Structure 1
Amino acid sequence: MSISLLEKYLPNYCLPYLKEWFANYAIHIKITRGRNSKLGDYRKMPDQSHQITLNSTLQPQLFFFVLTHELAHLLAFDNFGNRISPHGVEWKSTFSKMLSESISVYDEDLKPIILKFLKSPKANFMASPDLVRYFHIEDYEDESSYIEDLEIKDQFTYRKQTYIIEEKRKKNYLCTQLKTDKKYIFKPLARVEKIN
Structure 2
Amino acid sequence: MDQKVKILSKYIPEEAAPLISKWIDFYKCDFKISKSRDTKLGDYRSPYNGDGHKISVNYNLNPYAFLVTTVHEFAHLITWNEHKHHAKPHGQEWKNNFKRMMIPFFELEVFPMDVKKAIVSYLQNPAASSCSDLNLYKTLRNYDQKDPSFISVEKIPHQHHFMMKNGREFKKLEKIRKRYRCVEVKTGLIYLFSPIAEVMLLNSESA
The TM-score, its normalising length taken from structure 1, stands at: 0.87
Offset, 1:141: 5.4
Mapping of 1:131-170 within 5 angstroms? 131-137=136-142, 138-140=144-146, 142-159=148-165, 160-170=167-177
Asked whether 1:93 is paired with 2:96, we answer yes
Which residue does 1:45 correspond to in 2? 47
Q: Report the 3-state secondary structure (helix = DSSP H, G, I; strand = E; otherwise coil) of the residue aligned with 1:110.
A: helix
- Give the secondary structure class of the aligned counterpart of 1:54: strand
1:83 aligns with 2:78: no
Letter of the 2:15 counterpart: Y
On the 8 A contact 2:130/2:136 being kept in 1, the answer is yes
Residues 65 and 59 (structure 1), Cα distance of their counterparts in 2 relative to 1, 3 Å cut? same
Which range moved further: 90-99 or 18-27? 18-27
Computed over aligned residues only, the root mean square deviation of the Cα atoms, in angstroms, reads: 2.2
- Amino acid of the residue matched to residue 133 of structure 2? S
Matches within 5 A, 1:108-123: 108-123=113-128
Seq. identity, %: 29
SS of 1:87's partner is coil
What amino acid is aligned across from residue 88 of structure 1 in structure 2? Answer: G
User: 3-state DSSP class of the match of 2:14?
Assistant: coil
After superposition, the C-alpha distances for 1:110-163 in whole angstroms (9 at most, x for unaligned) are: 211111111111212221222322333343351432212334423222122211
| Correspondence for 1:186 among 189, 193, 203 | 193
Query: Normalising by the residue count of structure 2, what TM-score does the alignment of the two structures yield?
Result: 0.83
Q: Which runs of 4+ in 1 moved over 6 A?
A: none
Deviation of the 1:20 alpha carbon: 5.6
Which sections of structure 2, spanning at least 5 residues, go unmatched?
none
CA shift, 1:65, in A, is: 1.1
Paired positions, count: 195
2:31 to 29, 32, 35: 29
Paired letter, 1:64: L
Richer in helix (by share): 2
Match of 1:64 among 49, 62, 67: 67
